Each structure stands twice: as C-alpha cells, then as structure tokens.
Amino acid sequence: MSIDFNSLLQGQLSEDLIEQFSQQLGGVEKEKTATAATAIVSTLTAALARNASKPEGAEALANALERDHDGSILDNIMGFIGGNQEPEPAQSKALDGMGILSHLLGDKQNTAVSMISQLSGLGGEQTNSLMSMLAPVVMGALGRQKRQQGLDVGGLVSLLSGGVSQSKSQNPMLNMAMSFLDSDGDGSIMDDIGGMGVNLLKGFFGKK
C-alpha cells in the first residue's frame, strides 16, 4: 500500500506546533493558524505532485531533495520555527522558505497567499510568513521519505501522485488546490473560496 504523503504531512501539524506558529505570527487565533497550515500543506503537496508530473520537473525535484533536503529539519521543527536552530551553511537552501515557494508556485504564489488568507482569516503577510515556515518542513518530509524508502525519480512521482489521489476524497482543500494550480487565472476558483469560509476545514481541528 502506498503512503498517503499529504496525510503524513498533516500529521506533523501537532497542537504544540500550531501554538508555536501562532506565537510566531503575533499571537493570532490557533484555529485560523491551523486552518491556514492545513491549506498550505495541501497546496504545496498539490504543487509538488503537479511539478513532478512532468519528467523534467520530477528530475529537478529529485536532484533538489538529494542535494538540499535530507529531512533533518523534522528532528527539531520547534527549534527551526522558533529561530533557536542555528543553520549550518550547507542548510541555507533547505531552510530558505521563500526560495522553495518561488520554485514550487512560481507566478501563482501571490494568488495562493490570497486564496489561503481568504479561507483562514489570516492576513496576507501572516499567511505568507506561515507558508515560508512550512515550505522547508514539507520539503524535509519529502526528502526523508525519499531516503527511507530508497526512491528513485519514478518512486518519487508515485509517492506524490498516490498521496494526492488517496487524499482528494477526504480533503476538499486538496481538490481546490489542484483546481487552482491548473486554472487560467480567471478568478473562478477565488470566487468559490470566498463562499467557503473557515468551516471548510473544521473537521480537521475538531479534536484540538
């Protein structure tokens, strides 16, 4: 049975981590932070799967993981988020959240920020900051899976596409992220989000 990579990532979003994110964003409501974090993880998972669906994209991703993302960030996420982890020079690309977002989302990054901001209720700058904190975590988790499972390029593609396929039926945000990434920018997806509100992801956080 293939690993559901999106669910694996969502499992990293512990209550303590959400609390840490909220503090880093200026003490915002945890529910808003949790909603935004889940939306960001879904969006980045969808972007990874989309980019890896093309041979040149899959090869570039595999090379980036091999070179820069060994998964060690997962050993001390709280330290990284809190700024207590002193990065080694070799980790500069691994921890460069804005650089990762630029590669994954390209010219759709600003629209993604607006989409997630509308959905969660966070401000645009707060959403952008949270995205930049989560992007290295997502890449680290993928890099760790690549190493633990010994994945080649084909295995990496299967992991991402399989994770998206398994999660789409239970994660409406993942469906919307895929639609957003494939849209032509006519605004229709944003209109849909405006009518959804925070309650879309309420089920993910009812236990917290």
Asked if residue 205 is part of any domain, the answer here is no
Q: Does a structural domain hold residue 137?
A: yes
Q: In which band, very low, low, confident or very high, does the pLDDT at 56 lie, cut at 50, 70 and 90?
A: very high
C-alpha span between 149 and 131 (Å, rounded): 27
For the ranges 82-86, 167-171, 175-179, 187-191, the one whose mean pLDDT is highest: 175-179
Asked whether residue 149 is assigned to any structural domain, the reply reads yes
Q: Which of 18, 49, 21, 2 lies closest to 130, judged by CA?
A: 21
Residues of the domain holding 150: 5-200
Least confident range from 25-39, 89-103, 194-208: namely 194-208
Evaluate whether residue 148 is within a structural domain.
Answer: yes
**pLDDT, tens digit (0-9, with 9 covering 90-100), for 22-36:** 999 999 999 999 999
Note whether residue 154 is domain-resident: yes
Cβ proximity of 201 and 38 under 8 Å: yes
Residue 208 lies in a domain: no
Cβ atoms of 129 and 25 closer than 8 Å: yes
Q: What is the pLDDT of residue 13?
A: 86
Mean of the per-residue pLDDT values for the chain?
A: 81
- 207 found inside a domain: no
Q: Please state the domain count of the chain.
A: 1
Cα 178–chain centre separation: 13
Please say if the pLDDT value at position 51 is more than 50: yes
Lowest mean pLDDT of 64-68, 97-101, 158-162, 193-197, name the range: 193-197
Residue 206 lies inside a defined structural domain of this protein: no
- pLDDT confidence tier of residue 2, bands split at 50, 70 and 90: low
